[in-house]
């Protein structure tokens, strides 16, 4: 796994966005007044505007150099984003008419469909008994491409973007707009990130998810980007399982961070985790306990079970794929240095 080379020193020393850059950007105005007025209009009631319908439906967070790196998942139909064949400049059209290629010359491949639009993000801090307070505005220009051969205008695609925040409770107001701002779609999403200092009596984890694929990039992403079917975390490009549905024979490749662990005097961790797959109250798979040297966990868990096969002549053990069904992964975490512990359950399906 790539995570073996992804050290905590890299994670905490390489800032996704520098503090100095954040201060300079905070002084600028990122959201045009006509978009901001629409976002503020629906803020109190969390009332979405459906010029461009979309839904923010999932949030995960992972530790970063100064707080947490938040990853947001949203879904939107292809038709809503206005995918179309790119229009060549007028000069190119004229040249095409003047120069007709011979019949034997290879014709160019079909051009990719393109969609260009704006995303505006307004992060609001939520405090008890006070109105939401705007703490950050972000502008994200987006340009997407799609293969016309497989393009389905009615398909709802999943996209992600990431942004760092400190611990706290937030309301994210998001807008997707056409380039000329004639169409403005909005959505409102509340999310929270914890304060690690509060975990003094028990451990906690960041949201636990499963990975389809993970690759290491040459450098971390330094500005907000929109990505289809994957997200970026520092130097890692991660494609997650969104629905926790697996085919027979696949691995559960789990990823999360443990909050509240303590290192020893040599700044070394000693974390023991037990994994068990259960179906209702019966154990389907029990894995050997694993010890980890740091709290960032990436662990493949083969969905193989050992069963006892009886025949008239003998009894023997066989290893087979976990059959189809609904299961629960039980994760039991123990910090051998602090004595703190935690238990987490994650449901998944094999189909």
**Looking at the predicted structure, is the pLDDT value of residue 195 above 50?**
yes
Is 161 in contact with 226 (CB distance < 8 Å)?
yes
Q: Which residues pair with 346 in a beta bridge?
A: 329
Backbone angles phi, psi at 312, to 5 degrees: -65, -30
127 alpha carbon, distance to own chain's centre: 26
Averaged pLDDT, 126-138 = 94
**Looking at the predicted structure, is the pLDDT value of residue 184 above 60?**
yes
Averaged pLDDT, 132-141 = 96
Assign 87 a pLDDT band (cuts: 50, 70, 90).
Answer: confident
Q: Residue 211 and residue 127: Cα distance in Å, rounded?
A: 34
Is 74 in contact with 187 (CB distance < 8 Å)?
yes
Assign 212 a pLDDT band (cuts: 50, 70, 90).
Answer: very high
Q: Residue 239 and residue 210: Cα distance in Å, rounded?
A: 9
Q: Which residues pair with 58 in a beta bridge?
A: 73
Tell me the three state secondary structure of residue 267: coil
Is 110 in contact with 86 (CB distance < 8 Å)?
no
Cβ-based neighbours of 24, under 8 Å, separated by 6 or more = none
Is 84 in contact with 114 (CB distance < 8 Å)?
yes
Q: Which of 107-121, 208-222, 240-254, 257-271 has the lowest mean pLDDT?
A: 107-121
DSSP string, 130-148: S--EEEEEEEEEEEEEE-T
Q: How many CB atoms lie within 10 A of CB 187?
A: 24
pTM: 0.87
Name the token pair of 231: 């997200």
Is 175 in contact with 234 (CB distance < 8 Å)?
no
CATH class name, domain 1-84+112-242: mainly beta
Burial 309-328 (b: 16+ CB within 10 A, else e): eeeeeeeeeeeeebeeeebe
**Looking at the predicted structure, is the pLDDT value of residue 226 above 50?**
yes
Assign 99 a pLDDT band (cuts: 50, 70, 90).
Answer: low
Is 183 in contact with 51 (CB distance < 8 Å)?
yes
CATH class name, domain 246-351: mainly beta
**Looking at the predicted structure, is the pLDDT value of residue 205 above 80?**
yes
- Distances 136 to 30, 31, 112, 314 between C-alpha atoms, Å: 9, 10, 35, 69
Backbone angles phi, psi at 106, to 5 degrees: -65, 130
C-alpha distance across the termini of the chain, in Å: 25
Please give the pLDDT value at position 77: 98
- Distances 175 to 31, 60, 170, 330 between C-alpha atoms, Å: 10, 20, 16, 38
Over residues 9-49, the pLDDT tens digits come to 445 444 444 444 554 554 465 899 999 999 999 999 999 99
- Name the residue among 299, 319, 293, 297 with its Cα closest to residue 308: 319
Averaged pLDDT, 126-140 = 94
Q: Residue 131 and residue 256: Cα distance in Å, rounded?
A: 33
Cβ-based neighbours of 82, under 8 Å, separated by 6 or more = 115, 117, 178
Q: Which part of the chain has CATH 2.60.40.10?
A: 1-84+112-242
């Amino acid at each position: 796994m790539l995570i073996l080379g992804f050290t905590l020193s890299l994670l905490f020393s390489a800032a996704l966005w520098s503090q100095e850059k954040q201060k300079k950007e905070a002084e600028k105005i990122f959201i045009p007044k006509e978009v901001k007025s629409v976002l503020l209009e629906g803020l109190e009631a969390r009332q979405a505007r459906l010029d461009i319908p979309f839904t923010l439906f999932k949030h995960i967070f992972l530790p970063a150099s100064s707080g947490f790196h938040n990853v947001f998942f949203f879904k939107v139909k292809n038709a809503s984003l206005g995918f179309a064949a790119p229009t060549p400049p007028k000069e190119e059209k004229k040249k095409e008419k003047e120069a007709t290629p011979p019949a034997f010359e290879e014709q160019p491949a079909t051009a990719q469909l393109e969609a260009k639009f704006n995303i505006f993000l307004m992060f609001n801090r939520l405090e008890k008994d006070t109105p939401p307070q705007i703490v950050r505005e972000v502008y994200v220009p987006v340009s997407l491409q799609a293969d016309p051969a497989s393009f389905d205008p009615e398909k709802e695609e999943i996209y992600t973007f990431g942004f760092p925040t400190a611990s706290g409770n937030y309301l994210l107001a998001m807008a997707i707009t056409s380039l000329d701002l004639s169409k403005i779609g909005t959505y409102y999403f509340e999310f929270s990130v914890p304060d690690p200092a509060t975990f003094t009596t028990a451990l906690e984890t960041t949201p636990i998810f499963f990975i389809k694929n993970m690759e290491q990039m040459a450098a971390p992403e330094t500005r907000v980007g929109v990505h289809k079917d994957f997200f970026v975390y520092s130097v890692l490009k991660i494609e997650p399982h969104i629905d926790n549905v697996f085919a027979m024979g696949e691995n559960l490749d789990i990823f999360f961070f443990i909050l509240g662990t303590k290192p020893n005097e040599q700044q070394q961790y000693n974390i023991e985790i037990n994994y068990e797959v259960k179906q209702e109250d019966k154990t389907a798979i029990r894995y050997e306990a694993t010890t980890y040297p740091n709290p960032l966990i990436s662990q493949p868990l083969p969905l193989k079970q050992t069963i006892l096969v009886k025949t008239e002549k003998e009894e023997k053990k066989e290893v087979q794929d976990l059959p189809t069904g609904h299961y629960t992964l039980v994760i039991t975490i123990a910090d051998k240095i602090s004595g703190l512990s935690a238990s987490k359950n994650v449901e998944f399906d094999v189909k």
